[in-house]
Structure 1
């Protein structure tokens, strides 16, 4: 069977390609990777954020516009930087699919504003049909959820921000 690193590489390659589903079978063991429609929709907002410098470059040609927009961008960037000083990231310990609840009709483990302790379950990451409960390993209040339900997550990817 494939090694974990090989599976991670496959996930990255499939995520970057137009392939929606991939199946690999060897010695009676089967690995099936599938993109979810939500994942495709989530990819779209990220380039929009990355285009801000492109818009800024265009606005340099028109100085009046360039002076107006960088100020709000700087304010938005300053606020998260201040918040990051007092927050801890809860990171994914593995590659898999993020689930905010134990089942589709159940309430999420945590929401923004939820208080967590070190042993609080905050989500589930599914990897190869194994559902792994992820614990906070810190105490505080959840201030931001960084991923969407059903999203593929990487090893070490931040999932939540917790304010101590």
Structure 2
């Protein structure tokens, strides 16, 4: 009687070889393997006194892979202007946590800062909400807001630049 591991090994060997048909008979067990082209299914027949082996063998059958046709698609790439974040004279105000960026404490109220506003080290520039806690973010530097890098309600990551400030 063949063990399931031996049957699996036979299936793998036949599948990897160029053999089209294979028959094996031993101690009342018969195995017939027949490979066909990729569009036809593989036929595996097992005649065994123990029906458990047949059900286990069903899970061992190699998977047939259907060819996938991928259409070629042209994508045009337009160069993006280099952000001012690379300017070493500009200070980045970064997010101290993962959360949601808010430019104001309420939707009805004007933003804490806008482009061109002057800030001091203690000026509140935005709020980052994390786990229902609203954290006020200070400018950390005195200067002028050159650019706001995120939009209101946008998710931000730890260390992500939020503002660019031209320090005094």
TM-score normalised by the chain length of structure 2: 0.51
Larger Rg: 2
Distance in 2 (alpha carbons) for counterparts of 1:105 and 1:90? 25
User: Residue 163 of structure 1 is aligned with which of 159, 162, 166?
Assistant: 166
Kindly indicate which of the two structures has a greater share of residues assigned to helix: 1
Where do residues 113-124 of structure 1 align in structure 2 (5 Å cutoff)? Answer: 113-124=116-127
Unaligned stretches of 5+ residues in structure 1:
1-50, 57-69
Shift, 1:85, TM fit: 2.2
Q: Which residue of 1 aligns with 2:151?
A: 148
Aligned pair count? 93
CA distance, structure 2, for counterparts of residue 85 and residue 162 of structure 1: 11
1:103 matched to 2:106? The reply is: yes
Give 1:80 shift: 2.8
Report the Cα offset of residue 55 of structure 1: 2.9
Q: Which runs of 4+ in 1 moved over 2 A?
A: none
If asked which structure has higher relative contact order (CA below 8 Å, sep 6+), I would say 1
TM normalised by structure 1 equals 0.52
Name the structure 1 match of 2:96: 93
The CA distance in 2 between the partners of 1:55 and 1:131, in whole Å, is 39
Secondary structure, aligned partner of 2:109 = coil
CA-to-aligned-CA distance 1:48-96 (integer Å, 9 cap, x gap): xxx8xx637xxxxxxxxxxxxx7xx6xx43x737x71220000000110
Structure 2 distance, partners of 1:80, 1:150, is: 23
Aligned mates of 2:120, 2:108 — CA distance in 1: 24
Q: Distance in 1 between matches of 2:84 and 2:133?
A: 34
What does 1:128-139 align with in structure 2 at a 5 Å threshold? 128-139=131-142
- Root-mean-square deviation (CA, aligned residues, Å) is 2.1
